[in-house]
Amino acid sequence: MSVGLIALLDDIAALAKVAAASLDDIAGQAAKAGAKAAGVVIDDAAVTPRYVTGFTAARELPIIGKIAVGSFRNKLLILLPVALALSLLLPQAITPLLMMGGAYLCYEGAEKIYEFVVPHAAHAHEAGLGSIDPGARSFEDQKVASAIKTDFILSAEIMAITLASVSDSGLPTQAVVLAAVGAGITGAVYGVVALIVKADDLGLAMAQAESASPLGGLVRGIGRMLVLGMPYFLKALGVVGTAAMVWVGGGIVLHGLETYGFGGPSHFIHDTARLAARALPAAGGAVEWLVGAAGAGLAGLAIGLAAIPATSYLIAPVWRRLRPGPRGA
């Protein structure tokens, strides 16, 4: 055996030892990055069930499956290579891209609030933006295309947050953490969405249980609770998702501005939260977090409300001109 081959084998063995020693570190980094993206994940889980509204029970899981496949494709085949290329070639672009994604989250959240307050104006705004996918042939195709488009933005934000969390690590570690977070979050989100969407069907089956035993009565009672409670749960989840959008988006934009030297709004919110915590020392930590989140949420709402007319009168017309296909399609 040649000396070169022995040296190569020694190098491979050393790399294997390093890789084994760093598995725990990678797992820890993936967990921390996933936790930082929790607000976006909550929103993803809250938003998706609305895309199966109006379909028969038999089509719900297939539609969720299509969206999940699109989400895996978004994260692992498109966004992961782009994120690694940015990290390697243009790391200074990560913060602006994060801010753009944060602004989009603010816009989505503000649009939902706008729709609740003035539904007619919100529907007119939405109609003016045009079709998500002009090639979609059916209502189901349009719903899936719309869901995958929204997922792409949320996925980009998740991957950008993850990349920012491991920006000091080497490229292989970044790749493994991004893949782990992307695959783990997608599996978890769409697994939970499938359970949420089918919970009322499960409740109906349980409510119709024919057993006369005490256990059968308990099963029927739980089934009736599921059937009656799921509409309220979905509404509550939607509210949480909207709040998460404006809070997370606002926080990302404020943090980005601070990075570029415009830290006044962020510092004001931080100082206000600290003062509130000192005023209520018994619950200081919770109060500080709530005030900080509320401040970021208000900033996010302001950004989102400003983005609505900007989207209608600037971004959408430019997009229609640049989009391939017939004008006005």
Sign of CA dihedral 9, 13, 14, 18: positive
- Position 8 in a domain: no
pTM: predicted TM-score of the whole model, two decimal places: 0.71
pLDDT in tens, 64-110: 889 899 989 988 899 899 888 988 888 888 888 888 888 988 998 89
Q: Is residue 71, in this structure, part of any structural domain at all? A: yes
Whether residue 191 is contained in a domain is answered as yes
Q: Sorting pLDDT into bands at 50, 70 and 90, what band is 220? A: confident
Q: How far apart are CA 127 and CA 124, in angstroms?
A: 5
Of 117, 138, 1, nearest to 62 (Cα)?
138
Residue 83 lies in a domain: yes
- Which of the listed ranges 145-159, 166-180, 267-281 does the model predict with the highest average pLDDT? 267-281
Answer with the residue of higher pLDDT: 21 or 124. 124
Is 277's pLDDT higher than 70? yes
User: Is 138 part of a structural domain of the chain?
Assistant: yes
List, in sequence order, every beta strand (DSSP E) within the chain: none
Specify if 266 maps to a domain.
yes
Q: Looking at the predicted structure, is the pLDDT value of residue 20 above 50?
A: no
- Decide if 15 is inside a domain: no
- Number of domains present in the structure of the chain: 1
- Domain span holding position 188: 22-322
Residue 259 belongs to some domain of the structure: yes
Return the higher-pLDDT residue of 130 and 66: 66
